[in-house]
Homo-oligomer: A and B are copies of this chain.
Amino acid sequence: MRRKITLKDIARELDVSISTVSKALKNSEEIGRDTKEKVQAFAKLYNYKPNNIAVSLKNKHTKNIGVVIPDIVHHFFTTVFRGIEKYANSRGYNVIICVSDESFDKEVINMEMLANGSIDGFIMALSGETQLKNDYAHLKEVTNQGIPLVLFDRVTDEVNCDKVVLNDEEIAYEVVMKLINSGRKRIALFTTENFFNVSKNREDGYRKALMDSGIVVDEELILRLPFNENIDAIDPFFDKHTIDAVLAVNEIFAVHAMGVAQKKGMKIPDDISFIGFTNGMLSKYASPQLSSVAQHGDKMGEIAAKMLIERIEAEYKEDEEEEVVYRTEIIKGTLIERASTIN
């Protein structure tokens, strides 16, 4: 078992000082040709690689970014994560991921662990509990310490930082308009409790589209499924209400609802059409295939990572505390039309 070789080892072996070795490996002008070549050859031979931890300690940055998300087994979050990881990697950053599991406490604990030097910045989507409690002290704490933070998808106005979100309200408005224009009149909304900013925004778009079309919003047609994604309430909903379209805030609600509707003898999309959010596997392989709003998670992740890394690397320069201006990047969702709406 070969132990990793250090600068000190090289210095001892070659009978020069540690600083000389360090400089030689960085190709510093200060060091003579011969010495440089000797050191570099030796380092290559023994496969010397600087110890990340030591470099981090000295340089005060880790080249790690922390990602905190509510759930990892979830198509949208994984695509965002993939975008983050890809971009971060291309910039030489590694990604530490923590799952809050929709729990406020876990979110806090995870952030505290990472905030003590392990990472240079955070990218996160708020947990459900955090949005419910509306308590963002841990986020403010982190930004106060000067650690850059980028929020995506599940964001809040309460904290001042860069953000990247979907144009939830707009796209919901658009797709509902599309349903209305194709003749649908009784359009249900299957959503979650609306302390989630995304659900709330989509609902706003839904309401606005109806109102702008002269349709009064029937509150009965808004079905709020519980936090834990328990979908049992969908079946009875179809017994109680006659509807000709459904907008669901995610794939699962939509696909499950399609199953229920079909079981009750309705024809899709003749009798009823469906549109979901999150254009994932389910949308593609459901039958009929589900029309769905693509949220472009990859792009979202890439942009979030880019914003974060820019902040991180800007910090090295500006000692002068100029008033920082935070940006909110808005990604446009796109409706992918499939058999659940086209006939």
User: Hey, what's the 0/1 contact readout for A1-23 against B, CB within 8 Å counting as 1?
Assistant: 11110000000000000000000
In the complex, which of the residues B54, B73, B94 contacts A114, with contact meaning CB atoms closer than 8 Å?
B94
Which stretch from A30-38, A74-82, A154-162, A199-207 is at the chain B interface? A74-82
* Number of this chain's copies in the complex: 2
A221 to chain B, nearest CB (A): 24
Decide: B82 and A52 in contact? CB cutoff 8 A.
no
Interface size on A, residues (CB 8 A): 52
Name the residue on B nearest A288 (C-beta): B287
Decide: B81 and A89 in contact? CB cutoff 8 A.
no
Contact A81/B85 with A53-B62, A56-B53 known, Cβ cut-off 8 Å: no
Bound Cα distance A256, B285 (Å)? 7
Contacting residues, chain B, for A51 (C-beta < 8 A): 57, 116-117
Contacting residues, chain B, for A144 (C-beta < 8 A): 1-2
Name the residue on B nearest A289 (C-beta): B259
User: Hey, what's the 0/1 contact readout for A79-93 against B, CB within 8 Å counting as 1?
Assistant: 101100110010000
A274 to chain B, nearest CB (A): 13
Instruction: Kindly state whether residue A95 has any CB partner on chain B within 8 Å.
Output: yes
Instruction: Kindly state whether residue A49 has any CB partner on chain B within 8 Å.
Output: yes
In the complex, which of the residues B75, B112, B118 contacts A73, with contact meaning CB atoms closer than 8 Å?
B75
Decide: B64 and A73 in contact? CB cutoff 8 A.
no
Contact A72/B78 with A116-B49, A145-B3 known, Cβ cut-off 8 Å: yes
Contacting residues, chain B, for A110 (C-beta < 8 A): 89
Bound Cα distance A139, B136 (Å)? 42
A257 to chain B, nearest CB (A): 11
Decide: A52 and B282 in contact? CB cutoff 8 A.
no
Bound Cα distance A2, B144 (Å)? 6
Contacting residues, chain B, for A98 (C-beta < 8 A): 85, 89, 94-95
Bound Cα distance A22, B25 (Å)? 35
Contacting residues, chain B, for A262 (C-beta < 8 A): 287
Beyond contacts A51-B117, A85-B99, A95-B98: 5 other A-B pairs, Cβ-Cβ < 8 A, are A3-B145, A52-B116, A64-B96, A252-B285, A285-B286
Interface residues, chain A, with chain B CB atoms under 8 Å away: 1-4, 49-54, 56-57, 62, 64, 72-73, 75, 78-79, 81-82, 85-86, 89, 94-99, 110, 112-118, 144-146, 252, 255-256, 259, 262, 281-282, 285-287, 321
13 A-B interface contacts by CB (under 8 A): A1-B145, A3-B145, A4-B117, A49-B115, A53-B53, A54-B117, A73-B75, A85-B97, A94-B96, A94-B113, A95-B98, A252-B281, A259-B287
